[in-house]
Structure 1
């Protein structure tokens, strides 16, 4: 009987801890992304490393991984905490090794910083709720071999944003308040400012926690909540893009798998 090939391996780099509710109900940011992007019926292995707690042991066997995902975080990607600087350097090393790296929100921002772009506090303030992205479908088709809609609805939760993309990057999407919603460097790097892994209940929890911390007004929070009544996030479309990028299985078709 022929032996099975080794599993494809992916690492999720946890850049932040979630609220008590999100950790208890959904398992935290890293597990949410592993669950979104993993295919249980295929030969895959997903490992989690909490870089926010200083776990960079993935670098010892980086060559063994097929791809990496960097999560969101309440921390600032432009800060100089030791673990953030180590993560910046790790992104540079993964790029040197020509590994595929997907960054979500904070991950999107730290990739930009690591590769010659810039990130910081957004002048327009918080971006929260369901928002519309204007997408360069042609570029996505050229890079990933898939058809993709020119407008998508996504879940946003950020007050920082990328202010300059890396020199070799191309912009894939923008929104009314965020110029660089998605960028790519070839088929190796993909940065996404929005949260394809979030659900409505996750966002309601985040909004209530930030409102309690006086991060924004009750009126602003209500607008974010109402956005879920007006629009439905294109969850499957964004999931399809992320999985196609990580696994290199573009099939030149529209929408979700």
Structure 2
């Protein structure tokens, strides 16, 4: 089946030659699940014509805020609502998580608690899951009908389930230790030093990215919520 990757941002220029762009990271994360991929540069206003153009949709992270005034955000929100109406599977990561929530009636804001950077622990129904994060914005009010299926002390709405076909998550299962190290070097200027130091100290600790990738694949295949 074909998955449409809606690129709402791009990796830092300095990281792309060795580590790839965001879409490359997702294709690697979901390898082995019999997917093919088609990319849409949404940030450059390249939008799919229809929710049926692909069998499932994945919305990437972005350096932009979902609440910012960019010409591509309203069409993306309209497309998200069309995907829900068409009952096509959709997954959102970080900005993707936020823009789905905003499009469906939730609220996204800069969190008063500041930044989450590097390895974080999340509660998935009583099970601890470790994933890398890189965000200050988060979903502060979930949309009507959405159910929080993961949380942390820092992020109340860490993963949201809308139906058996739409699921989103705030942290980044596609970011490995090398990518976090690169972000610290190239996009860490706005992040407090203590948070960067804590992220660096945890770089070699394991994460549960493969487990979350399997769950993403199940959602995109329409097999389970």
TM tier relative to shorter chain: over 0.9
Say which one has the larger Rg: 1
CA shift for structure 1 position 21: 3.1
* Counterparts of 1:219 and 1:166, CA distance in 2: 33
CA shift for structure 1 position 66: 1.3
Q: Deviations over 1:108-148 (max 9, x none)?
A: 000000001110111100000101101126xxxxxxxxxxx
SS of equivalent to 1:21: coil
* 1:178 is the counterpart of 2:155: yes
TM-score (norm 1): 0.83
Listed as ranges, the gaps of 5+ residues in structure 2 are none
* Counterparts of 1:219 and 1:108, CA distance in 2: 26
- CA RMSD for the aligned pairs? 1.5
**Residue 178 of structure 2 is aligned with which of 193, 196, 201?**
201
Listed as ranges, the gaps of 5+ residues in structure 1 are 1-7, 138-149, 251-257
* 1:78 is the counterpart of 2:67: yes
Whether the 8 Å contact between 2:81 and 2:103 is mirrored in structure 1 is yes
**Residue 20 of structure 1 is aligned with which of 13, 32, 49?**
13
> Who is 1:248 aligned against?
222
* Counterparts of 1:219 and 1:170, CA distance in 2: 32
* 1:99 is the counterpart of 2:88: yes
**Residue 217 of structure 1 is aligned with which of 182, 186, 192?**
192
Whether the 8 Å contact between 2:115 and 2:195 is mirrored in structure 1 is no
> Who is 2:29 aligned against?
36
Question: 4+ runs of 1 displaced by more than 6 Å?
Answer: none
TM-score (norm 2): 0.94
CA shift for structure 1 position 14: 0.3
Whether the 8 Å contact between 1:38 and 1:46 is mirrored in structure 2 is no
* Counterparts of 1:61 and 1:77, CA distance in 2: 22
Q: Deviations over 1:133-180 (max 9, x none)?
A: 01126xxxxxxxxxxxx1111101001000111111111000121000
> By percentage of residues, which structure has more helix?
1
> Who is 2:203 aligned against?
228
